[in-house]
Amino acid sequence: MSLTNEIIQQTLSRQFTPKVENFHILHDMLAFEVKKEALFEVIQFLKEDPSMNFNFLTDVCGVHYPDYDEDRQFCVVYHLHNWFDNVRIRVKAFLPASNPEVESIVPLYAGANWQERETYDFYGIIFKNHPQLKRILNMDEMESFPLRKEFPLEDQGRTDKDDRFFGRTGPNC
């Protein structure tokens, strides 16, 4: 019997409600939210339970939602992939702006290491128990978390480009 989105949803709801919620399917991929405290155990279940078997971590990334409620400002998105039944799944954990902190999943997937560091580097999301949580792409001295929406794309200190000639005087595209 192959694994379907319905089975995953039922199993997870049975096992973890109310820590998992908001199941929805977008472009054939099941996605759901998980409370940040339960993230590690849910992903551990998805990886280790023989009926789930999500053996491969495809991707970890962060998202910033400044317009959302205070306790849903940041989101960490995990894409998992079950190679046996060829099913992908998207797990989201929303974090508050005051304390964007979530358990690291490096003990489960070694490949999460740099991806979590990248997420920290871009958004300042803290991964608890991460072996080496420091900046990866940007310089260690950098103070801002550049992918947060409040930081501009361009370097504000540059002198060689006049923003007016690039159509960047106001809030544009």
Partner 1 sequence: MSDSSNIKQVAPPEGYAGEGFFATKLSEVVGLARANSMWPLPFATSCCGIEYMATMAATYDIGRFGSERMSFSPRQADMLLVMGTIAKKMAPILRQVYEQMAEPKWVIAVGACASTGGVFDTYSVLQGIDKVIPVDVYVPGCPPRPEQILDGILELQNIVKNESVRRRSSDEYKDLLNSYNIK
Partner 2 sequence: MSDLLLVPEKRFEKQIKATREKDGVELSILNLGPTHPATHGIFQNILLMDGEKIIDGEGTVGYIHRAFEKIAENRPFYQINVLTDRLNYCSSPINNTGWWMTVEKMLGIEIPKRVQYMRVIIMELARIADHIICSSVMGVDTGALTGFLYVMQYREKIYEIYEEICGARLTTNMGRIGGFEREWSETAWRKIDKFLAEFPAVWTEFENMLSRNRIFMDRTIGAGAVDAEMAMSYGFTGPNLRAAGVDYDIRVAQPYCSYEDFEFDIPVGQNGDCYDRFCVRNAEVWESMKIIRQALEKMPAEGGYHADVPDYYLPPKEEVYNNMEALIYHFKIVMGEVPVPNTEVYHAVEGGNGELGFYLITNGSRVPYRLHFRRPCFIYYQAFNEIVKGRSLSDAIITLSSMNVIAGELDC
Binding site for partner 2 (CB under 8 A): 26-27, 29, 31, 55-59, 61, 63-64, 77, 79, 83, 86, 88, 90, 109-111, 113-115, 118, 122, 131-140, 146-147, 149, 153, 173
d(CA 71, CA 161): 38
Residue 159: CB minimum distance to partner 1, A: 8
Six-digit token pair at 25? 């399917």
Residue 73 binds which one of partner 2, partner 1, none, with CB within 5 to 8 A depending on kind?
none
In this chain, which stretch among 19-27, 73-81, 98-106, 134-142 interacts with partner 1, using CB under 8 A? 134-142
Residue 99: CB minimum distance to partner 2, A: 20
Contact set with partner 1 (CB under 8 A): 137-139, 146, 151-155, 158, 160-161, 166
